[in-house]
Structure 1
Amino acid sequence: MEFGMKIRLLREEKHITVKHMAELVECTPSFISQIERGMANPSINTLKKISNALGVALVHFFDEEDPLTNNTEKYIVRKNKRKKFKSVMENTDIFLLSPSDIESKNIEMHLMVVEPGGKSDKLYTNPGEEVGYILKGKITFYLGNEKWELEEGDSIYFPGDIPHGWENTSDTEAVTLWAVTPAILRAGESLVLGETIYSASHKQ
């Protein structure tokens, strides 16, 4: 099921009007309507606000193939069964590499593919710790008031409460691998609102 349809069904189930949803998400009612009809694609930030308003985890809106039927494979994520979220606004695809239905897990892994020109909509914060590794290409990573140029083979660690974001200024896609603890897509990640990613000092 498309995530726009999921949003509409959950909204109607909770008796939330389009106007009230727009107020909760801080956008226009027409934008909510366009998202639900598949005519607009929200940023990861906007989808987080929607998931918070509807009381569900962000991962609920990730695409996935048919669910696993073999319980012995609950610890395995096959490459054709990864949950995926595509943020057209940020030109970024996020794949969940760890099982989403094990509530007791304390770590999560993501594969993030950022196309040329892709960048985070805002700076993020979360209550955990993150480690990232650049598998392919290069990416500009914003951390607090600084920014770093990371290339293939580079890695980075940081506490999640430091505002952070990314940007691909190159002409090729960047593929990055992330480990996060605790699992933020289950718990919900917070935002640093009103902060741009262009006020950082450059590091290399």
Structure 2
Amino acid sequence: MGKNPASTSAPRSKTAARKPAAAAPAPAAPLHEGIGQKLRQRRKVRQFSLSEVAARANISIGLLSQIERGLSAPSLRSLRQICQALEMPLGWLFESEDPQRAGEEQVVVRKPRRRRMVLGAAGMTKEILSPDTVPQLQLMRMIIHPEGRSGDSPNQHATGAKTGTVLAGRLGLEIDGRRYLLDQGDSFAFHATSQYRFWCEGDVDCDVLWAVTPALY
């Protein structure tokens, strides 16, 4: 009996179908380009001009401009000088972004990624809770250790306001010569043009949530 042509399966191709090659990932931006963006953003927050920062850092305006635009790779010495001029820790420049949360840093600050400033001489630690993308305001957490203080002389700023609440401990606050003692749960607000200073009252840490306009750091 002859074979039924319909029952005969077609021969398989010896060559397997090939999947399209995956697109190569886009090359990462050079490290110095990201550093330049952070320096420029910090300068804008501090409201410094290029010439002011260059003079304070003892570098040329042209070099600073090239660093900010990612056109020049700065030396470690130059970075230290610029960071000192901007009053920022050098380590802030090398904080890497989480690729799983790319882009959210424009809006969200995750707890492990808070930037910290340990002010040993003043006896306090500051954590920056808000992103740099909104320089009109800044939210901080300040932990003031016993005997820690903002300084013996009052501070004052040309514009803005300050407000906050005591999360733990006791805060001493002086505004235009008048002193206040704030306990846990108490809040405050005052114009930045006022002469002010603050300190930890007592022998336990004072934990304060502090907001300022505009951003300071």
Aligned counterpart, 1:180:
212
Residues 96-175 of structure 1: matches in 2 within 5 Å?
A: 96-100=128-132, 102=133, 104-121=134-151, 122-126=153-157, 127-175=159-207
Whichever residue aligns with residue 96 of structure 2, its letter is P
Structure 1 residue identity aligned to 2:148: G
2:127 equivalent to 1:95: yes
Q: Mark the runs of 5 or more structure 1 residues left unpaired by the alignment.
A: 1-9, 17-35, 37-49, 186-204
One-letter code of the match for 1:144?
Answer: D
Distance (whole Å) between structure 1 residues aligned to residue 91 and residue 121 of structure 2? 17
The Cα of 1:176 is off from its aligned counterpart by 0.2
Letter in 2 for 1:111: R
Q: Distance in 2 between matches of 1:105 and 1:111?
A: 17
* Ranges of 4+ aligned residues in structure 1 off by more than 3 Å: 10-13, 50-53, 62-65
Shift of 1:15: 4.8
Q: Matches of 2:83 and 2:89 in 1, distance apart?
A: 12
- Aligned partner letter, 2:130: S
TM-score, normalised on structure 2? 0.56
**CA distance change for structure 1 residues 14 and 155 in 2, over 3 Å: closer, same or farther?**
same
Question: TM-score normalised to the size of structure 1?
Answer: 0.60
CA shift at 1:169, angstroms?
2.8
The alpha-carbon deviation at position 105 of structure 1 amounts to: 3.5
Q: 2:96 aligns with which of 36, 58, 67?
A: 67
- Distance in 2 (alpha carbons) for counterparts of 1:74 and 1:159: 28
Describe the superposition over 1:5-32 as per-residue Cα deviations: whole angstroms up to 9, x where unpaired: xxxxx9996359xxxxxxxxxxxxxxxx
Residue 52 (structure 1) shift: 9.9
What is the root-mean-square deviation of aligned Cα atoms in Å?
Answer: 2.9
Following superposition, the deviation at residue 163 of structure 1 comes to 1.0
Q: Partner amino acid for 1:124?
A: N
Partners of 1:175 and 1:79 lie apart in 2 by 16
Give aligned pairs, total.
139
Paired letter, 1:66 = E
Q: How many angstroms does 1:119 deviate by? A: 0.9
Deviation string, structure 1 residues 128-163 (Cα, Å, up to 9, x no partner): 111110000101111111110000000001000101
Q: C-alpha offsets along residues 21-72 of structure 1, whole Å, 9 cap, x if unaligned? A: xxxxxxxxxxxxxxx9xxxxxxxxxxxxx98983x2x3x3275472324113
> Quick check: 1:130–1:159 contact (8 Å CA) kept in 2?
yes
Retained in 2: the 8 A contact 1:92–1:115? yes
Aligned equivalents of 1:12, 1:167: Cα separation in 2: 30
**Aligned to 2:112, what secondary structure does the other structure show?**
helix
Q: Based on CA coordinates, which of the two structures has the bigger radius of gyration? A: 2
Gaps of 5+ in 2: 1-53, 61-76
Answer whether contact 1:114 1:174 (CA < 8 A) is retained: yes
Normalized per residue, the structure richer in strand is 1
Q: Counterpart of 2:58? A: 14
| Contact residue 68 and residue 74 of structure 1 kept, 8 A | no
What percentage of residue pairs aligned between the two structures are identical?
21
Q: Does the 8 Å contact 1:62/1:85 carry over to 2?
A: no
**Secondary structure in structure 2 of the residue aligned to 1:124:** coil
Paired amino acid for 2:103: N
